[in-house]
């Protein structure tokens, strides 16, 4: 009887621990300003796992979000790997990529009549989210062919939209999600070219590489095994929700759900294509 009671108590405790893990708050930081693609993706994750709490910590090559992780190692942030840029003022990278959530094609859009051929010969302002970003790398690939192109950092999709609409910036490089939203809501904004995530495009003299836009979950390097397990549970609770897959598909984004060695290989390819190629 005593053995039975002990076994029963252990079973209850194990169940309670599992239930707590599934309902405990998941503190998610977003390393980009509200209103852009990152905001949309964050809210899809939260919808799929309501235990996720969102807090925006944009800026400085994800340094703001990384600093917050240093104070709260049970938190995680979602974003792109900008901290691997050589221009990052914080050379001591304190975070690591735990999980690749999804990948996105890059899209060049305009509200003018400009074409890809025009980018090879004309003086044009090309807007990017920020310097040393994946979009900046694509702009530099264009500039290799036409040095007269002027690259303009705009601080995010939300700030870029009115400039593109008013033709103050002729060209803007963004994610497939933002491009789909803009071209749907503003009929005079059109797509010039899409650059698939895992392919290289050669057209009109340009060579445009993929592997630029990946969106992942970053944790502090010193997070404990229990903290890592909890964060991974928070994410996989969301990504295993069928509604999550459906909602992500609607954003013109490819679900990845990659961890382990394969995640490390893709990250290395991303760093090579985006940052090492141009010394960003």
pLDDT tens track for 200-231: 999 999 999 988 888 899 999 999 999 999 99
Q: Where in the chain is the domain with CATH 3.40.190.10?
A: 106-208
**For residue range 89-142, what is the model confidence (pLDDT) as tens digits?**
666 778 899 999 989 999 999 999 999 999 999 999 999 988 888 899 999 999
**Per-residue model confidence (pLDDT) at position 23:** 54
Note the pLDDT of residue 91. Answer: 63
Q: How far apart are CA 251 and CA 254, in angstroms?
A: 9
Q: Give the pLDDT confidence score for residue 151 in this predicted structure.
A: 97
pTM: 0.80
Cα angle, residue 176 at apex, residues 173 and 182 outer, rounded to 5°: 75
What is the architecture, at CATH level 2, of domain 106-208?
3-Layer(aba) Sandwich (3.40)
For residue 230, the model assigns a pLDDT of: 96
CATH topology of domain 2-104+212-276: D-Maltodextrin-Binding Protein; domain 2 (3.40.190)
Question: Residue 9: what pLDDT?
Answer: 39
Query: Does 58 score more than 80 pLDDT?
Result: yes
Q: pLDDT-derived band of residue 263, with 50, 70 and 90 as boundaries?
A: very high
Planar angle of CA 46, 184, 244, nearest 5 degrees? 20
Token reading at 133: 């970003």
All CATH 3.40.190.150 domain ranges of the chain, comma separated, are: 2-104+212-276
Q: How far apart, in Å, are the Cα atoms of 94 and each of 61, 64, 90, 114, 230? A: 12, 12, 9, 42, 19
Host H or E run for residue 171: strand 171-175
């Amino acid at each position: 009887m005593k053995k039975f009671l002990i076994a029963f108590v252990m079973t209850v405790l194990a169940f309670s621990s599992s239930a707590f893990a599934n309902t405990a708050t998941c503190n998610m930081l977003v390393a980009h300003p509200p209103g852009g693609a990152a905001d949309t993706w964050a809210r899809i994750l939260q919808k799929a796992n309501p235990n996720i709490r969102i807090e925006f910590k944009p800026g400085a090559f994800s340094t703001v979000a990384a600093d917050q992780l240093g104070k709260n190692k049970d938190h995680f942030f979602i974003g792109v790997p900008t901290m691997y840029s050589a221009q990052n003022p914080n050379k001591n990278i304190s975070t690591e990529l735990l999980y690749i959530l999804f990948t996105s094609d890059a899209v060049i859009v305009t509200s003018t009549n400009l074409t890809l051929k025009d980018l090879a010969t004309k003086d044009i302002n090309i807007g990017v989210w920020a310097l040393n970003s994946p979009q900046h790398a694509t702009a530099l690939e264009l500039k290799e062919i036409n040095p007269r192109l002027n690259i303009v950092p705009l601080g995010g999709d939300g700030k870029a939209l009115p400039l593109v609409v008013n033709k103050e910036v002729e060209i803007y490089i963004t994610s497939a999600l933002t491009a789909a939203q803009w071209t749907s809501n503003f009929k005079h904004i059109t797509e010039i070219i899409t650059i698939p995530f895992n392919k290289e495009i050669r057209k009109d003299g340009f060579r445009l590489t993929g592997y630029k836009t990946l969106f992942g979950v970053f944790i502090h390097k010193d997070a404990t095994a229990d903290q890592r397990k909890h964060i991974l549970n928070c994410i996989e609770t969301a990504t295993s929700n069928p509604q999550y897959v459906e909602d992500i598909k609607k954003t013109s984004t490819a679900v990845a759900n990659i961890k382990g060695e394969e995640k490390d290989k893709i990250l290395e390819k991303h760093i090579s294509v985006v940052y090492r190629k141009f010394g960003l």
